[in-house]
Amino acid sequence: MVTLSELHKYGTRKFIMPGTAACPGCPLLIGMRHLAMALDGKFAMVIPAGCSSVIPGTAPYTAYSVPVLHVPFASSPAVASGLVRAIRQRGNEGPVVVWAGDGATADIGFATLSGAAYRNEDILYIMADNEAYMNTGIQASGTTPWKAWTTTSPRGKTEDRKDVALIMLMHKVPYVATASIAYPMDFIDKVRRAMQVRGFRFIHLHAPCPPGWKMDDSYTIRAARLAVETGAWILWEYNQGKLTISPPSIPYKDKSRRKPLEEYLKIQGRFAHLKPEDIKLLEQKIDEQWEFILRLAELFK
Ligand code: SF4
Find the 292 Cα to ligand 1 centroid distance in Å: 31
Q: How far apart are CA 157 and CA 149, in angstroms?
A: 6
Average pLDDT value for residue range 71-77: 96
Find the 85 Cα to ligand 1 centroid distance in Å: 32
**pLDDT range class, residue 60, cuts 50, 70, 90:** confident
Nearest CA to ligand 1 atom 4: 51
Contact 234, 245 (CB under 8 A): yes
Find the 92 Cα to ligand 1 centroid distance in Å: 33
Q: Which atom of ligand 1 is nearest to the CA of 220?
A: 7
**What percent of the chain stands above pLDDT 90?**
92
**pLDDT range class, residue 257, cuts 50, 70, 90:** very high
User: The whole model's pTM is what?
Assistant: 0.97
Residue 248: asked if its preceding bond is cis (omega within 30°), the reply is no
Q: What is the mean pLDDT of the chain?
A: 96
Nearest CA to ligand 1 atom 5: 22
Find the 243 Cα to ligand 1 centroid distance in Å: 31
pLDDT, position 12: 62
Domains, the chain: 4-299 (3.40.50.970)
Average pLDDT value for residue range 146-169: 98
**pLDDT range class, residue 121, cuts 50, 70, 90:** very high
Average pLDDT value for residue range 198-215: 98
Find the 299 Cα to ligand 1 centroid distance in Å: 37
**pLDDT range class, residue 8, cuts 50, 70, 90:** confident
Residues β-bridged to residue 44: 96
Contact 64, 99 (CB under 8 A): no
DSSP string, 168-191: HHTTT-SEEEEEETT-HHHHHHHH
**What percent of the chain stands above pLDDT 70?**
99
* pLDDT tops 90 at residue 120: yes
Residues with CB under 6 Å of ligand 1 are 22-23, 26, 28, 51, 55, 130, 134-135, 209-212
pLDDT, position 82: 98
